[in-house]
Structures are given as C-alpha cells and as structure tokens.
C-alpha cells in the first residue's frame, strides 16, 4: 500500500548525453574511458534522473519524442549500479536493466564537465536523504519498542507541594498563616518616602466643646474676674451666689 502512494520526482535533467559500448573489465583496477571509442558514441540523447521512494532511476530518453531507450535503477550510490572511471570525471559506467531482469553495463559521458558534476551531486543528495530517513525511522521504532512510563497518580497517592513557607498536601486545605508578634501588619509607605497624615474625623461631637462666657472689662483697667475672685475668697459668710453677682454689679458701677 505504501509503494502505491509513492510518487515519482525528477532530480536532474541533462539534454545531451552520449552512450558507449564498453569492453569487459580486464582487472579490478576499474574502468578507463580511454579504452572506449569516445569520438564514436553508440547513441546520443537526453538523461533524466528520477526517484520513487528510496530508489533512483537513470533514464536515457530520445531528445525529441521522449521515448525510453534504457533505464538503470540505483539502490545505492556509490555502488555497482553507477561507477566512475579512473581517468576522467565526465564519464561513468551504469548498469541498465529491462523488465525481464536482464542487465548490461554501458558507458555514458557528458561534453560539459558541469553536467557531469550535477549528475554526481543529484545522486549523492538523494541517497543522503535516504540515509537520514532510515535513521529517523530506526529511532522511531526503538522509541516504540521501549516500555512506556506511567506517570499518572495511583489510587490514593498524594504529593506535597512546598511554596515558600506554605506546605500543602494535595486533597487538603492549607492552614492560614498567623501574624508574627501578635501585632498588626503595616502597609509599606507610598513612593517618595512621604507619609500623609489623615485629617481629623468629622464624627467628633461639637457639643463636647464648651465656650466660656464673655467677661466684661473693668473701667479701672483690671478684669472683673480678678475682682470677683478676690472678693469671693475674702468674704467669710453669706450666700455665695448672691454675693458674686452683687460684687460684680458694684464693680461695674464704680
């Protein structure tokens, strides 16, 4: 099902490529482009590199019609499906396959060195991505295989939380904090360090204030209050209230 959902993407397109029939490898030293007939290519056309899933495909197509000439599936790079030659950076050996399982090795080459570079880098980038995807998939499988931790609370299990000087227990109410020293807590002063004294309360009864009666002034320059006090203390007998008012009257008449 996953293979059906995979789509084909184009990695590289080069409009000019030459194909050569190559002799069998004589030894393990590798292929040499100088052994080929480089001035007489067996076929010329267009090259496309596509990918579908993890596999890359090197497709040799006709320049005009786009008809497929040969195809080389690449499952690993560097690998047996694509090899470089020992004497040039513009030529490669690829293994082509048909639908029946038959395969053959042919040589391909680019006139421009930059096209050969792009061909090489496109394959390297694709299989670098394949390697990263494999590592991510492997790590994901390892994570799934590990036993999962149960971090939930068991039935009846409690925990304690310590916040400053308050220690609470889950499921219970916290105790109120008591004021230290038995006094009232004072608010901090306002910014600037100035303390404003509030005005006196208007709830004080005005009736508590007693205004003394006015004292008339004496024509002799002294106060009648002094005269009143002197006569009051020197009179031995008699009614005090009547004598007070009589003395005051006599003093005013004088």
Residue 227 binned pLDDT confidence (cut-offs 50, 70, 90): very low
Look at 3-12, 17-26, 129-138, 196-205 and tell me which has the smallest mean pLDDT. 196-205
Label residue 72 by pLDDT band (50, 70, 90). Answer: very high
Q: Calculate mean pLDDT across residues 100-110.
A: 93
Say if residue 27 is exposed, middle or buried (CB neighbours under 10 Å; 0-12, 13-18, 19+).
Answer: exposed
Confirm if 81 and 95 have CB atoms less than 8 A apart: yes
Q: If you average pLDDT over every residue of the chain, what do you get?
A: 76
Q: For 208-219, how does the pLDDT look when each residue is reduced to its tens digit (9 = 90+)?
A: 555 556 655 555
Assess whether the previous peptide bond of 213 is cis (omega < 30° from 0). Answer: no
Lowest mean pLDDT among 7-11, 98-102, 150-154, 207-211: 207-211
Q: Is 90 helix (H, G, I), strand (E, B) or coil?
A: coil
CA angle 35, 37, 39 (to 5 degrees): 135
Give me the pLDDT at residue 95, please.
96
* Residue count of the chain: 254
* Number of neighbouring beta carbons within 10 Å of residue 243: 15
Residue 21 parent element (H or E): strand 8-21
Confidence of residue 100 (pLDDT cuts 50, 70, 90): confident
For residue 190, report the phi and psi dihedrals to the nearest 5 degrees.
Answer: -65, 165
In the block, residue with structure tokens 């639908």: 99
Sorted by sequence, the CB contacts under 8 Å of residue 108 that are 6+ apart come out as 17, 18, 19, 20, 47, 60, 91, 92, 93, 94
Question: What's the mean pLDDT in 60-86?
Answer: 94
- 51 pLDDT higher than 90: yes
H or E element at residue 14: strand 8-21
pLDDT at 57 over 50: yes
Distances in Å between the Cα of 95 and the Cα atoms of 16, 59, 83, 128 are: 19, 11, 9, 21
The beta-strand segments (E) located in 53-170 are 55-61, 68-74, 82-84, 91-97, 103-109, 160-163, 166-169
Most confident of the ranges 1-10, 59-68, 181-190:
59-68
Is residue 224 within 8 A of residue 216, CB to CB? The reply is yes
53: left (phi over 0), alpha (psi -120 to 50) or beta: left
Helix (H) / strand (E) containing 43: strand 43-52
DSSP code, position 214: P
Residue 22 predicted with pLDDT over 50: yes
Q: What is the pLDDT of residue 238?
A: 47
Section 17-39 average pLDDT: 89
pTM over 0.75: no
Mean pLDDT, residues 86-113 taken together: 93
CB 108 within 8 A of CB 94: yes
Give dist(CA 10, CA 46) in Å, integer: 14
Instruction: Note the pLDDT tens digit of each residue in 32-45.
Output: 999 999 999 999 99
Residue 195 has pLDDT above 70, yes or no: no
């Amino acid at each position: 099902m996953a293979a059906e959902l995979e789509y084909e993407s184009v990695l590289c397109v080069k409009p000019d490529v030459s194909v050569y029939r190559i002799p069998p490898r004589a030894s393990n030293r590798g292929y040499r482009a100088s052994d080929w007939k480089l001035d007489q290519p067996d076929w010329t056309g267009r090259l496309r590199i596509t990918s579908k899933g993890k596999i890359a495909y090197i497709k040799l197509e006709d320049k005009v019609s786009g008809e497929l000439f040969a195809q080389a599936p690449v499952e690993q790079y560097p690998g047996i499906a694509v090899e470089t030659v020992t004497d040039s950076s513009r030529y490669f050996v690829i293994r082509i396959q048909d639908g029946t399982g038959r395969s053959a090795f042919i040589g391909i080459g680019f006139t421009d060195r930059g096209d050969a570079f792009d061909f090489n880098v496109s394959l390297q980038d694709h299989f670098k991505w394949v390697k990263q995807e494999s590592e991510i998939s492997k790590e994901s499988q390892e994570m799934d295989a590990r036993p999962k931790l149960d971090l939930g609370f068991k039935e009846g299990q409690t925990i304690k939380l310590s916040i400053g000087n308050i220690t609470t227990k889950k499921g219970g109410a916290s105790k109120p904090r008591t004021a230290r020293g038995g006094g009232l807590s004072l608010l901090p002063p306002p910014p600037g360090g100035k303390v404003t004294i509030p005005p006196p309360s208007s709830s004080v009864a005005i009736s508590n204030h007693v205004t003394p009666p006015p004292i008339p002034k004496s024509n002799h320059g002294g106060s009648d209050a002094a005269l009143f006090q002197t006569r009051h203390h020197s009179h031995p007998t008699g009614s005090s209230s009547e004598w007070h008012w009589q003395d005051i009257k006599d003093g005013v008449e004088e």
